[in-house]
């Protein structure tokens, strides 16, 4: 049964999955310096080509798509690792101690390790490209409908076997999805400013506020709504510049008018240390009320241009 299953697995389209020997070191993949130099050169040539042409208005879309090439490749490779890990789990469950079974298990572990090494390399390429995007457009790169996991600094299964491989793979996925640290919720809506100077003042207040919170919470994990057109975009860019892990809670549009309130519940369920509130709508007001009811400290910046409302209260008398 095992040989038949392995043959079927090998016959699937595994997006370049190699059934040869697994790599045993990072030397089997491009070194970071080469990745940085190559992607910087491609990026520079691409935007030099469209600069001053009718495509210049589409430059940010092109930049996003450039990063997405590596993101999609890494996602497909991660799925390959999942399939290979399932086969390792099946072989462990039916272990009979025979030499043939042991060889099949070792082979499948090598295949999974090979795919995982490729996944990590592709994720590193995506992160380099995402940094170029951040520097070019001033905003953090975010995929449309998936998470931006980065396993390179997490526990991985690079040099383990059998049951340890399965445990390590599961732990790596959990830690990538839920970074360790102290959650801090950031919330705000979409704002319009009468001048570029006002917009700059508002953005500076967002970053200065987050810097102050980060000074108090060194292991901060930023939690936000992931709105790419609102103030969440400023917060996400700050987090990437400061190398702060972030978790995005997008709206579940199937819930209709309840979507925003449900997102509030999900974010507050993380037991955050702070809620940082900038100007928004009634859903944000409810978030602040619920946070105070739970005795969560609220950093209120819902005053003019993202300042504290208390600073603008009329003096008594």
Domain at 182-306, CATH class: alpha beta
Cβ count within 10 A of residue 123 = 23
Which structure tokens are listed for 141?
């790169």
The structure's pTM equals 0.63
Q: How far is CA 310 from the centre of its chain?
A: 35
Q: What is the pLDDT of residues 209-255, one digit of tens each?
A: 999 999 999 999 999 988 888 899 999 999 989 989 888 888 888 88
- Alpha-carbon distance 72 to 145, whole Å? 11
Distances (CA, A) of 30 to 26, 73, 121, 124: 8, 15, 8, 10
Q: What is the pLDDT of residues 109-118, one digit of tens each?
A: 888 888 888 8
- Alpha-carbon distance 274 to 291, whole Å? 9
Q: What is the pLDDT of residues 17-72, one digit of tens each?
A: 344 444 445 568 888 899 999 999 999 999 999 999 999 999 999 999 999 999 99
**Inter-axis angle of helices 162-177 and 59-93, nearest 10:** 150
The domain ranges of the chain are: 22-177, 182-306
Question: Is it the case that residue 139 has pLDDT exceeding 90?
Answer: no
């Amino acid at each position: 049964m095992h040989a038949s299953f392995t043959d079927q697995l090998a016959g699937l389209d595994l997006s370049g999955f190699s059934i040869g020997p697994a790599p045993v070191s990072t030397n089997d993949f491009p070194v970071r310096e080469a990745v940085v130099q190559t992607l910087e050169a491609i990026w520079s040539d691409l935007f030099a080509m469209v600069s001053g042409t009718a495509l210049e208005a589409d430059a940010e879309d092109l930049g996003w798509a450039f990063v997405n090439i590596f993101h999609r490749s890494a996602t497909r490779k991660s799925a390959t690792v999942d399939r290979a890990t399932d086969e390792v789990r099946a072989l462990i469950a039916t272990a009979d101690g025979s030499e043939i079974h042991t060889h099949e298990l070792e082979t499948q572990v090598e295949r999974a390790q090979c795919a995982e090494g490729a996944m990590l390399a592709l994720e590193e390429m995506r992160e380099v490209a995402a940094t170029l995007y951040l520097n070019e457009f001033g905003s953090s790169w975010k995929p449309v409908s998936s998470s931006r996991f980065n396993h390179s600094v997490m526990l991985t299964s690079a040099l383990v076997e059998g049951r340890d491989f399965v445990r390590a793979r599961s732990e790596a996925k959990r830690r990538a999805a839920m970074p360790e640290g102290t959650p801090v919720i950031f919330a705000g809506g979409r704002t319009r400013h009468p001048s570029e100077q006002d917009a700059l003042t508002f953005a500076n207040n967002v970053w200065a506020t987050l810097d102050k919170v980060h000074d108090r919470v060194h292991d901060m994990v930023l939690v936000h709504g992931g709105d790419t057109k609102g103030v969440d975009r400023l917060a996400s860019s700050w987090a990437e510049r400061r190398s702060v892990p972030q978790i995005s809670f997008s709206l579940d549009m199937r819930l209709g008018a309840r979507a925003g309130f449900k997102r509030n519940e999900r974010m507050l369920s993380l037991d955050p240390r702070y809620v940082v509130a900038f100007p928004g709508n009634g859903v944000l007001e409810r978030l602040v009320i619920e946070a105070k009811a739970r005795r969560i400290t609220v950093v209120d910046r819902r005053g003019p241009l993202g300042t504290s409302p208390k600073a603008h209260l009329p003096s008594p008398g």
